[in-house]
Amino acid sequence: MGQHAVFNRYSGKMMAVCRRYLGVGPDAEDALMEGFMKVFTKIDSFKEDGSFEGWIRRIMVNECLMKIRKQGDMYSKPIEEAWGIGQADEAFMYLCTAEIEALIAELPPGYRTVFNLYAIEGYSHDEIATMLQISAGTSKSQLSRARTMIQQKMKLIEL
């Protein structure tokens, strides 16, 4: 499979991965392109013991994490406490994938990153701590706060 075919086959899914970490915009697009450059330059290091798509996904996640780290200290930025409590406790039952992704995208960078790595990618807190150069306790607290913020935001959604 040529580079063009690989890009066409996987770019949509990988853009979704990049947007989950970096939001919609040039950062996600840059991470996608830089990630595919690494895919193409390191393709000989792919070992067929896992899926090709999974290998590409790991490269994209690492590209996103590098961009996030370059943006500065994502764990000490002030959090807007604008999310109040609404009436619809069961709103999550009516959310579509795009709405759930939008909720995740609204999380502060540190919360969003840990949530994605843990809940979406399946990494452990110890693995996340190593990847982000934080403690496992910080990873756990970021995940807890992310979940709380998502739950609070879901309560605002009207049925």
Residue 141's pLDDT is 93
Q: Are 107 and 145 within one domain?
A: yes
Q: Please state the rounded mean pLDDT for residues 2-26.
A: 89
- In which domain, by residue range, is 33 found? 3-70
17 vs 84, residue with greater confidence: 17
CATH assignment of the domain containing 125: 1.10.10.10
Distance (Å, rounded) from C-alpha 69 to C-alpha 64? 9
- Does some domain include residue 77? no
- Strand, helix or coil at 25? coil
Among candidate residues 111, 99, 104, the one with its CA nearest the CA of residue 144: 111
CATH of the domain at 50: 1.10.1740.10
* Helix/strand number for the chain, H first, E second: 7, 0
Digit-coded pLDDT (tens) for 51-94: 899 999 999 999 998 888 887 655 544 433 333 333 333 444 44
What is the pLDDT, as a whole number, of residue 1? 73
In a shared domain, residues 105 and 53:
no
Q: Which of 70, 99, 114 is the last residue of a domain?
A: 70
Q: What's the pTM value of the predicted model, to 2 decimals?
A: 0.65
More reliable by pLDDT, 81 or 142:
142
d(CA 31, CA 85): 35
Task: Evaluate whether residue 132 is within a structural domain.
Answer: yes
In a domain, 149, yes or no: yes
Residues 63 and 97 in one domain: no
Looking from the CA of 32 toward its CB, the CA atoms found within 13 Å total 22
